[in-house]
Structure 1
Amino acid sequence: MKLKFPTAYTILFALIALVAIATWFVPAGQYDRVANEALGRDVPVPGSYQVVEPNPQGFYDVVLAPIGGFYDPVSYEARAIDVALFVLVIGGFLGVVTRTGAIDAGIARAMVRLKGREKWMIPILMAFFAAGGTIYGMAEESLAFYALIIPVMIAARYDAVVGVAIIMLGAGVGTLGSTINPFATVIASDAAGVPFTNGIMLRFALLLACWLACVVFVMRYAAKVKADPDLSIVADKRESNEAHFLKGGRTGGEAPTFTSMHGLILLIFAASFGVMIWGVAAGGWWMAEMSGLFIVSSIVVGLIARIGEEEFTSTFVDGARDLLGVALVIGIARGIVVVMDAGNITDTILYWAESAVDGLGKVAFINAMFALQGLLSFLVPSSSGLAVLTMPIMAPLADFSGVERSLVVTAYQSASGLVNLINPTFAVVMGGLALGRVPYERWLSFMWPLLLILIVIIMAGLSLSALA
């Protein structure tokens, strides 16, 4: 019997178990922490690391970790339960809109108008998501766009991987090259004791270079798939993906009639996402407000389409049910950090990282910092959580190596953004792949050449800046 790569659920549970085993061997330790009023959080005190009583995690803790992952707010902008509820509401909203036929008719009309120019959707959409990443760290809210973008890409004779890449790489490279992102650059700079504008030109350069590399990479893959669908890394899922995302597998034939009702529904559909972006970027919204927005939008769409109350509620629930697996992945992924924190090994790993860069020269220091932040990003996928954890410890070490503290901030956010393009402990990655029906191991096979290119770009930028 042919062995199959395990599902996301098995991978995440295995990681939880491995981290729990590590708490039996890794020395337990903690830094003292003080309140930082500017950040509104407690931050570790440099030089205060001390060994503490070990708290090894056992079978009981592993079983409860995914449950704790839903509720534990430590180091995260939102609890996983809030994000999971948002995903379920998005599923319900998409179910109602799909029921009206507006998405199917809209895609058909768009394909007719874009005939021969479909490839230009890739750089335009990736620029849009990169803007969200660099401005406010678009992450969980990007999950709302998968059911919109992927059907368009499949109808354009690409595949689901192209749709996933547009969103995940677009927003991810924007976060990698964060310029004014309050959840990464601003928090990290404040914790490092420098203005967030320091080093902004390097971050702009990294953003542009990495975005261009991602666009070229995705466009080449998309062109290859369009020329020969069998070259898709999800070629064996083509028929099922067409049936799932196009609600019947229609990629050709007679297009459905586009009516004025469809136009109005799609206008509300687009406006809902626009209002969501405004609410997050300027209105102080987060998961509760965004969930409420899409509930209201669902009701408005149902009224316009004259869907009966019973049919509306059943359609909404069916849509939410389609994304239940994604919601579960989000909580399970965060269970890994729950076990690390409970086992008192998070600060020990940070202390080892602090010791590893002590006394290095400029170029060696900043590249070692980049590598260590990448490792820590795997364990702490939250950009703001990683900033609060590491910057008070790592930034002062730059003074001894003759490196600007702002460069340490850039190394941190570049490493965090890079790792979170493939990080199995990052709920946005596992959730996005689940939404796109792309197996994790195939995403890795798709990504590894691009990761090498991005690493070279980032290390070159950091090294040249350290020597400047």
Structure 2
Amino acid sequence: MKKKKRLKFPTAFTVLFIVLIIADILTYVIPAGNYSKLNYKKETKKFEITNSNGNVSTKPPTQKTLDDLNIKIEVDKFIDGSINKPIAIPNTYKRIKQTPQKISDIVQAPVKGTANGIDIVLFILVVGGLISIVNATGAFESGFASLSKVTKGKEFILLILVNLLIGLGGTTFGFAEETIALYPILTSIFLATGYDSMVCIAIIYVGSTIGTMFSTVNPFATVIASNSAGISFTEGIGLRMVGLVIAFIISLIYVLRYAKKVKDDPSKSLVFDQKEEIEAKFLTNNDNKKEIPQLNFKLKLILILFGSAFIIMVYGVVVRKWWFTEMTALFLVISIIVGIISDLKEKECVDNFLAGAGDVIGVGLIIGVARSINLVLENGNISDTLLYFFSNSVQGMNSSVFAIVMLLIFMVLGLFIPSSSGLAVLSMPIMAPLADTVGISRAIIVSAFQFGHGLITFITPTGIILAALSMVDITYDRWLKFIAPLLVIMLILSMILLSFAVII
């Protein structure tokens, strides 16, 4: 009797291509339309207005110009660069000729999406190369061995510290895409201490998402959204801080319970059937015959250099306003320094760097395909139509119901516009004034935006979750099974917080 083949969930690429086709179909179904967009040009020191037909006009950068356009934002926010992306102008939505995306557009979209996201793709490749060089020196093996001895019996402390640090990074400066660099390293550490790869992605991705979902001073979400809503980012910060503490405790307990269950009984792991395959990939010291090198001064220095790259990266992003170009250059320099001080020959360094980059090239391509979905929706001119539809549907609602509906709306919009800053500048000038009509603070709209966008970030294929899953060899269906209960809990918490904010 033949054994039936078990159906496997499709890979990240297949999931993304399915979503890409659905996005294409939507460009035929949803009416095309655009809001006029306002942008400040530093070169000419003028406002540029692009209407729905693509015609461009200029106006002086004054508060009167903004008042005439019904944009309740201080003009200084544009001039000092706090708002540096085109924003939607209220009451300017117009239907335009349908722009469905053809087969040729779909075929070209992944190529254009990869080119569009080349900065993050190169970042991932260089980080992969650095990790491979450090791994070849034996620094990771000896470091893991020492760490296992230090944390023996207290491994949960490591989980808490990593989760807390990443969560703090998320709430302060939007630590999200940058976490891609951490997966290969932390997966090896967690596997060596008795956990599975799901624990790794949970500690990193959940920590990052909770932090960004309840952002306090994150310039890429809170500050931009508040500026675009015409309020100070400090308004509503108390509610978000309370939410951050509660959500952090709940999510950490949720992840630690799973981690303990797996450590006590590995068969309880959601990826138990992949245990040998994953350990073979991430644990380099499984071969008992292989002697683990002593953690000498040179290997300690290599690990310090590797760790310093992340510290410098955080400093650069927060203080120096770095982005992926600068971060990639940093990791490339660290790779060269590690190669020079190691015992590896020049050819060994280059070969290991290229092999490491090759190991993560699939992750880079996943990001490119995810970007292609956004391009199809953008070129199909349906994102503004969705915004227009939702903004009209909430007018005249009860204030408590309004706040919760706004949360759900931002979840839907976040599926189509995964960028927090992009969604903020597009939606806030339209959505924030609606708060005035129901008698609630605009800060509640900003919080609803953050909560909704954060919730959908847990699962949206157009974000970075599929790239993260690919880094640790976990399929999307396993992740959904793990995260679904926590997602429901976070949704309920968000609704309670918004309802409470309306009452007070």
* TM-score grouping bracket, smaller chain normalisation: over 0.9
Shift of 1:241: 1.1
Higher Rg of the two aligned structures:
2
1:425-459 deviations in Å (ceiling 9; x for gaps): 10x21111111111111000000010111111111
Question: Does residue 69 in structure 1 map to residue 113 in structure 2?
Answer: yes
1:314-337 deviations in Å (ceiling 9; x for gaps): 110000000000000011001111
* Structure 1 residue identity aligned to 2:36: D
Query: Is the 2:110–2:372 contact (alpha carbons within 8 Å) kept by the matching residues of 1?
Result: yes
Superposition pairs for residues 1-400 of structure 1, below 5 Å? 1-35=5-39, 37=78, 38-72=82-116, 80-249=117-286, 256-400=293-437
CA distance in 2, matches of 1:464, 1:278: 36
Question: Does residue 443 in structure 1 map to residue 479 in structure 2?
Answer: yes
1:125-166 deviations in Å (ceiling 9; x for gaps): 111001110000011111111112111110110001111111
* Structure 2 residue identity aligned to 1:434: S
CA distance in 1, matches of 2:13, 2:226: 35
Query: Is the 1:23–1:57 contact (alpha carbons within 8 Å) kept by the matching residues of 2?
Result: yes
**After alignment, is 191-200 or 36-45 more displaced?**
36-45
Q: In structure 1, list runs of 5 or more residues that go unmatched.
A: 73-79
CA RMSD, 1 decimal: 1.4
Which residue number in structure 1 is paired with residue 65 of structure 2?
none
Aligned CA distance change for structure 1 residues 174 and 154 (closer, same or farther; 3 Å): same
CA distance in 1, matches of 2:498, 2:289: 49
Question: Does residue 467 in structure 1 map to residue 467 in structure 2?
Answer: no
Shift of 1:250: 5.6
Which residue number in structure 2 is paired with residue 77 of structure 1?
none
TM-score by length of 2: 0.89
CA distance in 1, matches of 2:384, 2:238: 32
Query: Is the 2:141–2:285 contact (alpha carbons within 8 Å) kept by the matching residues of 1?
Result: no
Q: In structure 2, list runs of 5 or more residues that go unmatched.
A: 41-77
Shift of 1:104: 1.1
* Structure 2 residue identity aligned to 1:462: L
CA distance in 2, matches of 1:212, 1:195: 28
CA distance in 2, matches of 1:68, 1:205: 41
* Structure 1 residue identity aligned to 2:15: I
CA distance in 2, matches of 1:292, 1:119: 34
**Count of residues paired in the alignment:** 460
Shift of 1:283: 1.4
Structure 1 runs of 4+ aligned residues shifted over 6 Å read: 251-254
Q: Secondary structure at the match of 1:158?
A: coil
**After alignment, is 452-461 or 258-267 more displaced?**
258-267
Shift of 1:3: 2.3
Which residue number in structure 1 is paired with residue 45 of structure 2?
none
CA distance in 2, matches of 1:434, 1:461: 34
Which residue number in structure 1 is paired with residue 49 of structure 2?
none
1:53-105 deviations in Å (ceiling 9; x for gaps): 11111211111111221234xxxxxxx11000000000000000000010011
Shift of 1:122: 1.4
Aligned CA distance change for structure 1 residues 233 and 253 (closer, same or farther; 3 Å): farther
Which residue number in structure 2 is paired with residue 75 of structure 1?
none
TM-score by length of 1: 0.96
Query: Is the 2:285–2:292 contact (alpha carbons within 8 Å) kept by the matching residues of 1?
Result: no
CA distance in 2, matches of 1:65, 1:248: 42
Query: Is the 1:108–1:256 contact (alpha carbons within 8 Å) kept by the matching residues of 2?
Result: no
Query: Is the 2:33–2:94 contact (alpha carbons within 8 Å) kept by the matching residues of 1?
Result: yes
CA distance in 1, matches of 2:25, 2:488: 31
CA distance in 2, matches of 1:253, 1:314: 22
